[in-house]
């Protein structure tokens, strides 16, 4: 099982709406994440907009590719893109760069 952690930056003027959107994630998006191997997926948001994502999966690249193949992911990413800083034209899911794990207490 891979543990994956990544960082993104949410625009501070959109924090409240970002939280609201994630309080009601579309059921078809949740189903797609589960079907493509995203487990124990969490997002943490700091008041300055720092977003920390964490998930567990058997194969992160396969899980990303599985989501890329879904129509619901394309719609979700298009709606979420305006919430983020520094995407340089990339979709939020393309901007997820896993951090290197340096310690884990099992």
| Residues labelled catalytic | 22
User: Which run of H or E residues covers position 4?
Assistant: strand 2-9
Show Cβ contacts of residue 56 under 8 Å, excluding neighbours closer than 6 positions: 1, 2, 3, 4, 39, 40, 41
Length of the chain in terms of residues written: 106
């Amino acid at each position: 099982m891979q543990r994956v952690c990544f960082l993104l930056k949410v625009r501070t003027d959109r924090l409240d709406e970002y939280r609201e959107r994630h309080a009601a994630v579309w059921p078809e998006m949740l189903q797609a994440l589960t079907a493509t191997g995203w487990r124990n997926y969490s997002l943490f948001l700091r008041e300055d907009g720092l977003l920390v994502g964490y998930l567990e999966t058997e194969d992160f690249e396969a899980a990303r590719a599985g989501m890329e193949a879904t129509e619901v992911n394309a719609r979700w990413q298009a709606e979420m893109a305006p919430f983020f800083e520094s995407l340089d034209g990339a979709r939020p899911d393309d901007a997820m760069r896993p951090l290197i794990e340096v310690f884990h207490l099992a």
